């Protein structure tokens, strides 16, 4: 699972930061969050930032899936916007008490979306997943799969 956060971290360190741009990052469900956007070549990294500056969750949009999620880590179905997804359990070796969830799906144009989040408690996990469920991608970006 080291790769889980190494790609977004590397992109985050290498890219340039932009204010929220509705045409690139998906629409956030709440004004308490704002996007920190970084572009690196053909990869877009969107970090949902809380008012205190901490990351709520992240979204990367890449030409191809960065890796395959392990079926043995699959927890169950969910949604992101109107897209059906499966959530997977992840882990952070340096923070064993943190609950990590991630999902991937494909956009209509073939690009891959990877969403990840980290929570310190069950209540925070439930709240974050609810927020991610309300994220909206532009309708013509979504796959009909």
In a domain, 51, yes or no: yes
Give the count of alpha carbons within 13 A of 10, CB side only.
Answer: 9
In a domain, 11, yes or no: yes
C-alpha to C-alpha distance for 27 and 34, rounded to whole angstroms: 10
How big is the CA angle at 112 (ends 115 and 109), to the nearest 5 degrees? 135
User: What's the pLDDT at 141?
Assistant: 54
User: What's the pLDDT at 33?
Assistant: 92
Residue 133: phi and psi, rounded to 5, are -60, -30
In a domain, 108, yes or no: yes
The strand pairing partners of 47, in sequence order, are 36, 58
C-alpha to C-alpha distance for 68 and 104, rounded to whole angstroms: 9
User: What's the pLDDT at 144?
Assistant: 42
CA-based R_g, the chain, Å: 14
Residue 89 near residue 125 (C-beta atoms within 8 A): no
User: How many folded domains does the chain comprise?
Assistant: 1
In a domain, 142, yes or no: no
Domain that holds residue 7: 1-20+27-65+97-120
* Helices and strands (H and E) in the chain: how many: 2, 8
User: What's the pLDDT at 39?
Assistant: 92
Residue 116 near residue 125 (C-beta atoms within 8 A): no
Any idea what DSSP says for residue 132?
H
**What is the full per-residue pLDDT of the chain (145 aa) written as tens digits?**
444 444 444 334 333 333 433 448 999 988 889 999 999 899 999 999 999 999 999 999 999 998 899 999 999 999 998 899 999 999 888 888 899 999 999 998 899 999 999 999 999 999 999 999 999 987 555 444 4
In a domain, 75, yes or no: no
């Amino acid at each position: 699972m080291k790769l889980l956060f190494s790609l977004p971290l590397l992109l985050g360190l290498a890219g340039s930061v932009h204010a929220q741009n509705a045409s690139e990052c998906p629409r956030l469900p709440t004004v308490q969050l704002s996007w920190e956007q970084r572009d690196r070549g053909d990869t877009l990294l969107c970090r949902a930032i809380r008012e205190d500056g901490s990351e709520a969750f992240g979204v990367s949009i890449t030409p191809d899936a960065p890796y395959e999620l392990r079926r043995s880590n699959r927890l169950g179905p969910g949604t992101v916007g109107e897209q059906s997804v499966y959530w997977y359990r992840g882990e952070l070796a340096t923070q064993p008490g943190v609950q990590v969830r991630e999902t991937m799906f494909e956009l209509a144009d073939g690009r891959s979306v990877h969403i990840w989040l980290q929570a310190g408690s069950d209540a925070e996990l439930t709240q974050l997943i609810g927020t991610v469920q309300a994220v909206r991608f532009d309708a013509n970006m979504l796959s009909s799969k």
